[in-house]
Amino acid sequence: MGEAVEFLHYNNGFSKVHYETNHMIMEQNDDQQVEEDSWFEEEIDVDLKWSFALNRVLHRGTSEYQDIALLDTKRFGKVLVIDGKMQSAEVDEFIYHECLIHPALLCHHNPKTVFIMGGGEGSAAREALRHKSIEKVVMCDIDQEVVDFCRKHLTANHEAFRNMKLELVINDAKAELEERKEKFDVIVGDLADPVEGGPCYQLYTKSFYENILKPKLNNKGIFVTQAGPAGVFTHKEVFSSIYNTIKQVFKYVRAYTAHVPSFADTWGWVIASDHPLRIEAGNMDTKIAERIDGELLYLNGASFVASTILNKTVAKTLKNETHVYTEENARFIHGQGVAYRI
């Protein structure tokens, strides 16, 4: 966050963008068809990178908080990149967003109100608005430019942004929850991963969950959050800590995972409530058929139940995890790294 951006103008009429962080160098020309060997490259770890062949750079911009790019990739279609980190890809974002939204709403007996922390691209709101019982979805994102960018360029979410049930708020989610008098049936954390120096890690802390978020849940309310990479080799970065932190605050907590191809990893979510969470395949399939407009592409009762069964390595880590997120003691995911080879 907050990298210096330098625009260098060339005689050919194109602008070359160059910016750096500790782990990132990016160079590109303005939106155009790119060379055949052009790639988007993300540094997953100091010795591991993940690359996609590009058709073109569709758009890019820089907000007060972060750098934004929309890429057209050969394998994953349109890809949203924020601060050099893949956020979602056109061909498989439904996996992430169905897993984020539907389990919590289906576990609730009659969800009417939803508060989404983050979610600026609009996909989480889109999925929540598919539930027939929903009367109001508040989507609170800190970055106006990201929201405007996504509303303009991510065509799959145009209808969601126009929905009268959606209340769009540009604010820090922590401040917004503190200021609001109302409570919600479901609160969703669709935030960026906790990155050192980023604005989001305080929204993963025990004090935030306990003192700000939980009091804004209605009786039998449910909280769900994305919880970062959850693979055999990556689950200790933040997933186990987020899970353990939430366990300190809520009585009933379940972790679940799914593979997201464009993330090159298994991803994790955590769902929590002080009311028992009924997770049963047949019951969930009945609710999907009765409550949701249209057909889900990824999630059904059996797949969700299966997603809560973690492999031995991950389950053992979650059982033995002792770290709790505080303002003074946070774990951070590995820094971002990206290059556009154009």
Q: C-alpha distances in angstroms, 64 versus 5, 170, 270? A: 11, 13, 30
Rounded CA gap, 144 and 122, in Å? 12
Note if 92 is an active site residue: no
Residues facing residue 78 across a β-bridge: 72
Q: SS3 for 40?
A: strand
- Which listed residue (190, 193, 274, 285) is catalytic? 190
Q: Could you tell me the end-to-end alpha-carbon distance of the chain, in angstroms, rounded to an integer?
A: 24
Rounded CA gap, 328 and 166, in Å? 35
- Picking from 149, 124, 125, 122, the residue whose alpha carbon sits closest to that of residue 66 is 149
Per-residue b or e along 192-212, where b marks 16 or more CB atoms closer than 10 Å to that residue's CB: bbbbeebbbbbbbbbebbeeb
Q: Where are the beta strands (DSSP E) in the chain?
A: 5-9, 15-21, 24-28, 32-33, 39-45, 48-62, 67-73, 77-82, 85-89, 113-118, 136-141, 166-170, 184-190, 217-229, 252-260, 265-273, 338-340
Rounded CA gap, 140 and 119, in Å? 7
Quick one: tokens of 169?
């708020």
Q: Which residues are tagged catalytic?
A: 190
